Protein backbone atom coordinates (compact mmCIF):
# COMPACT_ATOMS: atom_id res chain seq x y z
CA UNK A 1 0.00 0.00 0.00
CA UNK A 2 1.22 3.46 -0.92
CA UNK A 3 0.41 6.79 0.75
CA UNK A 4 -1.22 9.52 -1.34
CA UNK A 5 -2.49 13.03 -0.69
CA UNK A 6 -5.35 13.83 -3.05
CA UNK A 7 -6.89 17.30 -3.40
CA UNK A 8 -10.10 18.14 -5.27
CA UNK A 9 -11.21 21.65 -6.26
CA UNK A 10 -14.94 22.07 -6.85
CA UNK A 11 -16.74 24.96 -8.52
CA UNK A 12 -17.24 28.13 -6.46
CA UNK A 13 -21.05 27.92 -6.70
CA UNK A 14 -21.20 24.40 -5.25
CA UNK A 15 -23.54 24.25 -2.24
CA UNK A 16 -22.59 22.74 1.12
CA UNK A 17 -24.86 19.74 0.50
CA UNK A 18 -23.26 19.16 -2.92
CA UNK A 19 -19.79 19.31 -1.33
CA UNK A 20 -20.90 16.66 1.20
CA UNK A 21 -22.20 14.50 -1.64
CA UNK A 22 -18.93 14.84 -3.56
CA UNK A 23 -16.94 13.96 -0.43
CA UNK A 24 -19.13 10.91 0.22
CA UNK A 25 -19.05 9.84 -3.44
CA UNK A 26 -15.26 9.72 -3.63
CA UNK A 27 -14.85 8.35 -0.09
CA UNK A 28 -17.19 5.47 -0.96
CA UNK A 29 -15.32 4.88 -4.23
CA UNK A 30 -12.00 4.64 -2.39
CA UNK A 31 -13.36 2.31 0.28
CA UNK A 32 -15.13 0.02 -2.21
CA UNK A 33 -11.88 -0.40 -4.16
CA UNK A 34 -9.84 -1.58 -1.14
CA UNK A 35 -8.40 1.81 -0.24
CA UNK A 36 -8.18 3.34 3.22
CA UNK A 37 -8.92 7.00 4.00
CA UNK A 38 -6.63 8.14 6.81
CA UNK A 39 -7.94 11.71 6.99
CA UNK A 40 -10.27 14.08 5.13
CA UNK A 41 -9.98 17.86 5.40
CA UNK A 42 -12.36 20.48 4.07
CA UNK A 43 -10.21 23.52 3.33
CA UNK A 44 -13.18 25.64 2.24
CA UNK A 45 -13.55 28.34 -0.40
CA UNK A 46 -10.24 29.88 -1.49
CA UNK A 47 -9.05 32.15 -4.29
CA UNK A 48 -7.52 30.50 -7.33
CA UNK A 49 -4.25 31.81 -8.76
CA UNK A 50 -5.86 32.14 -12.19
CA UNK A 51 -9.28 31.65 -13.75
CA UNK A 52 -10.27 28.01 -14.27
CA UNK A 53 -13.39 27.53 -16.39
CA UNK A 54 -14.46 31.12 -15.55
CA UNK A 55 -14.14 30.56 -11.76
CA UNK A 56 -12.11 32.88 -9.50
CA UNK A 57 -12.57 30.71 -6.39
CA UNK A 58 -12.89 27.04 -5.59
CA UNK A 59 -13.85 24.76 -2.70
CA UNK A 60 -10.94 22.54 -1.69
CA UNK A 61 -11.32 19.00 -0.31
CA UNK A 62 -8.18 17.09 0.75
CA UNK A 63 -7.90 13.32 1.27
CA UNK A 64 -5.03 11.33 2.79
CA UNK A 65 -5.32 7.85 1.29
CA UNK A 66 -3.56 4.49 1.64
CA UNK A 67 -4.11 2.44 -1.53
CA UNK A 68 -2.57 0.90 -4.63
CA UNK A 69 -1.62 3.00 -7.65
CA UNK A 70 -4.31 1.41 -9.80
CA UNK A 71 -7.01 2.86 -7.52
CA UNK A 72 -5.63 6.37 -8.07
CA UNK A 73 -5.84 5.90 -11.84
CA UNK A 74 -9.49 4.83 -11.57
CA UNK A 75 -10.29 7.66 -9.15
CA UNK A 76 -8.81 10.29 -11.48
CA UNK A 77 -10.59 8.73 -14.45
CA UNK A 78 -13.94 9.21 -12.67
CA UNK A 79 -13.06 12.75 -11.60
CA UNK A 80 -12.32 13.82 -15.18
CA UNK A 81 -15.97 13.13 -16.00
CA UNK A 82 -17.42 15.04 -13.02
CA UNK A 83 -18.71 18.47 -14.14
CA UNK A 84 -18.62 19.90 -10.58
CA UNK A 85 -14.84 19.52 -10.30
CA UNK A 86 -12.42 22.11 -11.64
CA UNK A 87 -9.14 20.33 -10.88
CA UNK A 88 -7.64 17.50 -8.87
CA UNK A 89 -4.11 16.63 -7.82
CA UNK A 90 -2.60 13.47 -6.37
CA UNK A 91 0.82 13.37 -4.74
CA UNK A 92 2.57 10.24 -3.48
CA UNK A 93 4.13 10.76 -0.03
CA UNK A 94 6.34 8.66 2.21
CA UNK A 95 4.39 9.41 5.38
CA UNK A 96 1.42 11.57 6.35
CA UNK A 97 1.58 14.76 8.42
CA UNK A 98 -1.58 14.31 10.47
CA UNK A 99 -0.77 17.03 13.00
CA UNK A 100 -0.69 20.18 10.87
CA UNK A 101 -3.68 21.74 9.14
CA UNK A 102 -2.18 24.47 6.96
CA UNK A 103 -5.48 25.96 5.84
CA UNK A 104 -7.21 26.47 9.19
CA UNK A 105 -8.81 29.91 9.54
CA UNK A 106 -6.98 32.57 11.61
CA UNK A 107 -9.91 32.96 14.05
CA UNK A 108 -9.76 29.27 14.93
CA UNK A 109 -6.02 29.48 15.68
CA UNK A 110 -6.50 32.43 18.04
CA UNK A 111 -9.31 30.66 19.94
CA UNK A 112 -7.05 27.79 21.03
- Give 4-38 pLDDT, tens digit per residue: 999 999 999 989 999 999 999 999 999 999 999 99
If one counts the domains in the chain, the total is 1
What average pLDDT score do residues 59-67 get? Answer: 93
Between CA 83 and CA 60 the distance in angstroms is: 15
pLDDT in tens, 34-54: 999 999 989 889 999 999 989
pTM over 0.75: yes
The CATH number of the domain holding residue 94 is 3.30.70.60
Segments forming the whole domain that contains residue 21: 2-111
Between CA 69 and CA 1 the distance in angstroms is: 8
Helix (H, G, I), strand (E, B) or coil at 16: helix
Amino acid sequence: MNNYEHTIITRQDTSISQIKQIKEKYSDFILKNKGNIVQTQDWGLMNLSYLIKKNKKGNYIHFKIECEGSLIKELEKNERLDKNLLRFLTVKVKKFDLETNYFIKEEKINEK
